[in-house]
Amino acid sequence: MNIPSLIEAKKRTNNKVRNYKYIKDNKLKKIGLNKKYYIKTYGCQMNVHDSENIKALLEEMSFKETVVLEDADVILLNTCAIRENAHNKVFGFLGRVKHLKEIKPEIITGICGCMAQEENVIEEIRNKYKWIDIVFGTHNIHNLPNILNDVINNSKQEIEVFSIEGDIIEDIPVKRDSKYKAWVNIMYGCDKFCTYCIVPYTRGKQRSRNMDDILNEVKDLVRDGYLEVTLLGQNVNAYGKDLNGPKMSDLLENVAKTGIKRVRFVTSHPWDFDDDMIDVISKYDNIMPYIHLPLQSGSNRILKLMGRRYTKEQYIDLFNKLKKKIPNVAITTDIIVGFPLEEKQDFDETLDVVKTCKFDSAFTFIFSKREGTPAAKMEDNVSLEEKNKRLKQLNELVNKYANINNQKYLGKIVPVLIEDYSNKEGYLMGYTDTMKLVNIKAPKCYMGKIVNVKITDIKTWSMTGEIID
């Protein structure tokens, strides 16, 4: 058993990152014969992509995927720790899993992902959720086959969570959810330690993958017919800083040159967004004009308390530069309200920045205390009622600008990668280059194609369009 430690998770050394290849253990390849797995994923794109790895690892062991919880022999929850409500969702769902486990005790149940890296969660699992069979963290996903094998042989709770800086493991198999667009990790972990955020503790230190490994993955995707890649990292702009080698602008340029039709990247921290990156984005048509640029707060006092290392003036300057240099760019953001000691005046400054930037859209959150982070020790003097009031006010403003931005698309012809069926009966769905969701009434032969679409109707969060041949 290995349990996490927040103190260990926080340590950063200059030790060289180990970079090695995953090797399949053929002895385990029949363990899942005639058995099914169910995986539920919470959290960000990184977790979504980790689940694609987990699925492939299970399929190497002959397990088959099911989307029906009741049919599964192995149930895994790939969790997120970013806010308290992410926790609550997982513990809520565990009620259903427990019920199934009581009826069918031979089911193997497991927790992985960022919550598994938290001390208090593991304590709770060891005390109150003894029926959960396996827990593994973000650093040992590739070990899942062995962990599963151990629990099958020993039938006692296996907790294998490492609070280490982390390695880079290449060649972990992947079962991608889409045939057209793919997630590609370019870096792992985070060293920014924003005072509210748990990610540097759950994901380890910033480790950039070698550029050649990334480019080979993208080239393989192009060969396999993929049209879009999204380069993933908590601070993609800082790519390469830990390698003393190529920068994000170099990587982006080389990815664009592979000829993949669409290149995206998330998330950009305003801190490391340099002019070379802006130049590359504007130079290549296949780098999409869409940037997610988290603001967090519009008050310099709060930004300082958050440890974000930029001022609102620097943020607005960067925002304006991006708008000026990248034609047609859409910019979205993340904002936290109710951070400890946030006064009405600080919040008003956040509203002012939103009014200045008129974001295409924003994810807005109420501050959530994460145990072990510096902000958890700050005096949280904003009442919940006030936080809710601020969130509502902010959302109204954000929605207003989202709608105004979308209105500009009415009657325009925009490129859309059609990627799936829409929730709307008889429609397909996809995203514009600027990441606007479009529902299109079209036959399924258009699936997996980038087509020109005329926008015929606008809503705050989506649009409707028709294909122009």
Q: Measured from the CB of residue 361, what is the shortest distance to ligand SF4 in angstroms?
A: 18
Which C-beta is closer to ligand F3S: that of 80 or that of 440?
Answer: 80
Site string for ligand SAH, 368-407 (x = CB under 6 A): x-x-------------------------------------
**Nearby residues of 181 by Cβ (< 8 Å), 6 or more positions away:** 226, 227, 228, 229, 230, 262, 417, 419
Which C-beta is closer to ligand SAH: that of 209 or that of 269?
Answer: 269
Report which DSSP code applies to 27. Answer: G
| Binding-site size, ligand SAH (CB under 6 A) | 17
**Could you say which of ligand F3S, ligand SAH, ligand SF4, none residue 43 binds, taking C-beta under 5 to 8 angstroms by partner kind?**
ligand F3S
Which C-beta is closer to ligand SF4: that of 61 or that of 199?
Answer: 199
User: Cβ(227)–Cβ(448) under 8 Å?
Assistant: yes
CA diameter of the chain: 63
Neighbours of 62 (CB within 10 A): 14
Which C-beta is closer to ligand F3S: that of 79 or that of 432?
Answer: 79
Instruction: Using the structure block, give the residue that is written with the tokens 């995927």.
Output: 65
Nearest to 299 by CA among 288, 285, 313: 313
Site string for ligand SF4, 253-272 (x = CB under 6 A): ----------------x---
| Chain residues in the site for ligand F3S (CB under 6 A) | 43-44, 46-47, 80-82, 113-114, 198-199, 202-203
Which C-beta is closer to ligand SF4: that of 202 or that of 405?
Answer: 202
How far is the C-alpha of 279 from the C-alpha of 288, rounded, in Å?
13
Which C-beta is closer to ligand SF4: that of 192 or that of 400?
Answer: 192
How far is the C-alpha of 174 from the C-alpha of 49, rounded, in Å?
8
Q: Measured from the CB of residue 115, what is the shortest distance to ligand F3S in angstroms?
A: 8
Within 267-306, which residues bind ligand SF4 (CB under 6 A)?
Answer: 269
Check whether the bond before 267 is cis (ω within 30° of 0): yes
E strand or H helix at 305: helix 300-306
Q: What is the DSSP string of 308-347?
A: ----HHHHHHHHHHHHHHSTT-EEEEEEEES-TT--HHHH
181: contact with ligand SF4 by CB under 6 A: no
Neighbours of 413 (CB within 10 A): 11
Burial label, 15 (beta-carbon count in 10 A; 0-12, 13-18, 19+): exposed
Provide the pairing of β-strand 74-79 with 207-208.
unpaired
Which C-beta is closer to ligand SAH: that of 82 or that of 440?
Answer: 82
**Could you say which of ligand F3S, ligand SAH, ligand SF4, none residue 73 binds, taking C-beta under 5 to 8 angstroms by partner kind?**
none
Which C-beta is closer to ligand F3S: that of 44 or that of 69?
Answer: 44
When binding is defined by CB under 6 A, the residue of 9, 76, 80, 82 that contacts ligand SAH is 82
**Could you say which of ligand SAH, ligand SF4, ligand F3S, none residue 200 binds, taking C-beta under 5 to 8 angstroms by partner kind?**
ligand SF4
Within 125-184, which residues bind ligand SAH (CB under 6 A)?
Answer: none
Give the C-alpha distances (Å, rounded to integers) separating 179 from 173, 229, 355, 457.
16, 11, 39, 28
Within 227-246, which residues bind ligand SAH (CB under 6 A)?
Answer: 234-235
Q: Which residues bind ligand SAH (CB under 6 A)?
A: 82-83, 196-197, 199, 234-235, 267, 269, 294, 296, 334, 336, 365, 367-368, 370
Q: Which residues bind ligand SF4 (CB under 6 A)?
A: 190, 192-194, 197, 199-200, 234-235, 269
